[in-house]
Chain A
Amino acid sequence: MKVRDVTVTGAALTPFNRRKDGTGFRDWALSAFEMALERSGLERSDIDALYVASESDFFHLQLNPASVLATEFGLTGVAATRCEGGGASGQVAVHTAARAIQAGAAKHVAVIGVDPSASSLSGDAIRTLYGFSFDAWTDGMTGLTSTALYALSFQAFAAEHGITEADLATVTLQNRSNACHNPGAHLPRRDSPQDIADSPAIASPYRRLHCSPLSDGAAAIILSRTDATPRRRAGAARIAGMGTATDHMHLGARADPGFFTAKQIAMQRACAEAGATPAEIGLAELYDAYAGTQLQSIAALGLSEDVSRDLNNGAFAPTGRCAINLSGGLMGQGAPVGATGVGQTATCALLLEGRYHPSLQPDTLPRYALADTHGGVCTLSAVTILERAEKAA
């Protein structure tokens, strides 16, 4: 079977924040979809299928949200699929949509990620629900929170890799500093290491400022078969490689509870498909649910053999060899769960086209960018490698 090439013809994000303006998830999803569609140069009637990433019906109290959004978007009649993989939901939707094009089942598809993670329920209720992101019958019923599980995994990683609190602070400050240049970011902040140390302890070593926020928002991309891409979108980035993998659901069943094995395998699969190596990745949007999670991800993705050293020599800074989370990441830009993976892909596509927020746009465009998400404590990993077009702006 011939595998078709896939191009990101349209990409857009709404602001990620806590909405207080009376709008709801249907409004954000429509806004992101219409922006992405306009940028794609396509019409509604060109869209063959809709893929919707949303982590939980509990957030918006809507089962079967894909068909609801198809109606909201004026797309009634298209194929509609809801994709869910915990925190990886967005990338799972991107992969499912791209595979449909590759298989010849669609020519142009819309991928929407949306969740009202901040405004629809109390923070305590969301935290309880997140506890069921793990094995709900074992970990989930112990009262073990997401932050506590991540903290335990990080401690194992830190002990092995010599990671310090100063390293956690560097990640925190860098991501939120990047967010200061992103007008759609939830937490654009310029804190000091002392501010971090003074913030409340959530689950040691994590303090509040080490954590990503709960956010509302949506993101959308339009994927097209490359040979059907509108001519004016010749500079759009293409999907070069995708990889997904799972790990043991129970942290304690893993040979190394601090290492994200699923992410390593997913990255190997994506690189094999792209014909690329981790060393060729020049931009990356990583799943920084917590500051230490970003460091664990860097190691598993093969972006560094000495994470602390490279972090501190600026390798992942905006001007470094692999700029990480220019958007601010989950910690700075925000985390409406279903939207995060789609938003990362949109961000990478815009960066590779030279169309991202001007003060975050690198002077030199790399060939490859990486979007990385996971669900659970990297129980399910999904990564996407995007490639710059020859005629990028």
Chain B
Amino acid sequence: MISNHIGLDYALNPGWMAPYVAGLSVGKARARRCQSCAATSFPPLRVCTCGCLEGNWTDLPGTAQILFRTTGLDGDFGLVHFDGATTKTTLRLQAIPATETRGIIAASGDNLPVLCLTALTGERDG
């Protein structure tokens, strides 16, 4: 048996996605709005589905609708629709009761630039 422990510390430059990553770090969903068709993608698409390469960054309102959710060993995750976005996204659901269908976007609190969805404090579905 050959035992070999390797620790790897990556320093990844996000390049064109820098505004998106900066948004994640402060709990904001920063989406890409197409200059041609106004489709708003999150995670951002560099080239819009309409073929346009030009886009602007825009912060989404910060709430989302849960479309599907899965529960298991690693916690709860959802396929959700961020209000104001054209596309859907997948992310961790943080302490959102199974009966809730909406949540509010927050920074995950981990060391990585990641969003999660947490329970709404005031707003309710509908």
Whether B79 lies near A156 (C-beta < 8 A) is yes
Whether A143 lies near B74 (C-beta < 8 A) is yes
How many residues on chain B are close to A (CB under 8 Å)? Answer: 38
CA distance A156 to B88 in the complex (A): 13
Interface centre among A135, A145, A152, A206, by most chain B C-beta atoms within 10 angstroms, is: A152
Whether B72 lies near A257 (C-beta < 8 A) is no
CA distance A285 to B67 in the complex (A): 32
Say which one of A81-89, A195-203, A273-281 lies at the interface with B: A195-203
Whether B73 lies near A142 (C-beta < 8 A) is no
Say which one of B52-60, B108-116, B118-126 lies at the interface with A: B108-116
User: Residues of A contacting B6 with CB < 8 Å?
Assistant: 61
B116 to chain A, nearest CB (A): 7
Give the residues from 140 to 160 in chain A that come closer than 8 angstroms, CB to CB, to chain B: 141-145, 147-149, 151-152, 155-156, 159
Whether A250 lies near B74 (C-beta < 8 A) is no
User: Residues of B contacting A145 with CB < 8 Å?
Assistant: 74, 77
Instruction: Tell me if A371 is interfacial: C-beta within 8 Å of chain B.
Output: no
Residue in chain A with minimal CB distance to B17: A137
Residues of A contacting B: mostly: mixed
Given that A204-B70, A250-B43 are known contacts, is A141 also in contact with B114, CB under 8 Å in the complex? yes
CA distance A202 to B89 in the complex (A): 21
Given that A141-B112, A142-B116 are known contacts, is A203 also in contact with B78, CB under 8 Å in the complex? no
Residue in chain B with minimal CB distance to A149: B90
Instruction: Tell me if A251 is interfacial: C-beta within 8 Å of chain B.
Output: yes
User: Residues of B contacting A205 with CB < 8 Å?
Assistant: 70
Per-position 1/0 for B72-109, Cβ under 8 A of A: 11110111110000011111100000000000000010
CA distance A147 to B70 in the complex (A): 9
User: Residues of A contacting B77 with CB < 8 Å?
Assistant: 142, 144-145, 148-149, 152, 203
Residue in chain B with minimal CB distance to A250: B43
Instruction: Tell me if A138 is interfacial: C-beta within 8 Å of chain B.
Output: yes
Given that A148-B77, A151-B70, A250-B43 are known contacts, is A139 also in contact with B114, CB under 8 Å in the complex? no
Whether B113 lies near A141 (C-beta < 8 A) is yes
Whether B74 lies near A148 (C-beta < 8 A) is yes
CA distance A159 to B69 in the complex (A): 13
CA distance A202 to B73 in the complex (A): 5
* 8 tightest Cβ-Cβ pairs between the two chains A and B: A252-B88, A203-B72, A151-B70, A138-B43, A155-B68, A148-B77, A252-B89, A152-B79
Residues of B within 8 A of A (CB): 1, 4, 6, 12, 14, 17, 21, 41, 43, 45, 49, 67-75, 77-81, 87-92, 108, 110, 112-116
Residues of A within 8 A of B (CB): 22, 61, 135, 137-139, 141-145, 147-149, 151-152, 155-156, 159, 200-206, 250-253, 257
Pull 9 A–B residue pairs with CB atoms less than 8 Å apart, ordered by A. Answer: A61-B6, A138-B89, A139-B90, A142-B91, A152-B69, A203-B70, A206-B70, A251-B79, A252-B81
